[in-house]
Amino acid sequence: MIEILYALLLIPLALLIEGIRRKAVARMHNRVGPPFLQPFYDIMKLISKKEFSRKNLVFNLVPYLALLCSLAMLLFIPFAIIGFDYDFLVFGYLFILQDTFYIFGAVSSRSPFAMFASVRELLLMLGYEITFLIVLSLFFYGTGAMSFQEFAAEFAFLKLPLVSLFLLFTGFVILRITPYDVMVAEPEISAGFFSEYSGASLAVLEIAEFIKDFIIYMLFGFLLFGPGYALLLSPVFMLFYMVMLTSSPRYSTVATVKTFLFLALLAFLDVFVVI
């Protein structure tokens, strides 16, 4: 019960981490930036706004299904509230399912901006989600754990350096870091998946995305350094990727996809190295 309360407290913490992220990016751009609590202000303002469009049932359900996926992942990271053999695969599927719901919402909206974003996301999914699942499995196999509750290895990156490198590379596309932000590139496709959402629905989508990003930061600390470092090192990984965001150029979509297909192949070959 206490672990569940702690997990619920991570939701406002995820919004605070997003506020810190925005402030950090602004300072790297030599701007003042928004206040740290800006995500809270944004969510409250969106909830108070009227929704302009109600497309169809799928479009309306997607925000809440995406949020449900994010909340379900909090059952595994960082406190491992529930545990069973191969639960890390369920975690990976929940992660993929959340992105899939975004695509469903984009397609059902029939917005050209959202449609372009969904096509680009599908192209990237061919590479990075395969890589993510393989790398996630290799960490557990390489440390002899069968679930998040059994995972107790500290500084696993010393034992699995190549797998750790693939994990960090996968973080670039998971967190939409340039050049892997083609599905949300604002100058090209507006707000991407969320183009047609407004009001409370958009607020729910934003919360789901903030939680997912926070979970990824904690996952990297969990796998690379150990369960005790998951929450502590999450701001460090956030700042690392923000430095990459502000210093990386954007490439073509095709080049981006080819890079992650290559990484997926290397991750597959690394299975035999770990075995």
DSSP secondary structure, 99-165, as one string: HHHHHHHHHHHT-HHHHHHHHHHHHHHHHHHHHHHHHHHHHHHHHT-SSTTT---SSHHHH-HHHHH
Please state, in angstroms and rounded to a whole number, the distance separating the CA atoms of residues 150 and 134: 19
Average pLDDT over residues 104-127: 81
Residues 6+ apart with CB under 8 A from 162: 270, 273
Provide the pLDDT confidence category of residue 151 given band limits of 50, 70 and 90: very high
For residue 247, the model assigns a pLDDT of: 73
Task: Tell me how far the alpha carbon of residue 251 is from its chain's centroid.
Answer: 21
Please state, in angstroms and rounded to a whole number, the distance separating the CA atoms of residues 167 and 155: 14
More confident site: 71 or 120: 71
Least confident span in 98-107, 171-180, 249-258: 249-258
For residue 217, the model assigns a pLDDT of: 94
Residues 6+ apart with CB under 8 A from 35: 19, 23, 41
Burial pattern 82-101, b for ≥16 Cβ within 10 A else e, equals eeeeebbebbbebbbbbbbb
Average pLDDT over residues 223-245: 89
Q: How far is CA 208 from CA 15, 99, 153, 269, in A?
A: 10, 11, 29, 33
Task: State the average pLDDT for the chain.
Answer: 83
Q: How far is CA 4 from CA 76, 184, 189, in A?
A: 11, 32, 38
Which tokens is 272 given?
A: 């035999």
Query: Is residue 180 scored above 60 in pLDDT?
Result: yes
Please state, in angstroms and rounded to a whole number, the distance separating the CA atoms of residues 171 and 271: 19
Residue that has been written with the tokens 């993929």 in this structure: 96
Average pLDDT over residues 185-212: 80
pTM of whole model > 0.85?
yes
Please state, in angstroms and rounded to a whole number, the distance separating the CA atoms of residues 254 and 180: 11
DSSP string, 25-37: HHHHTT-----TT
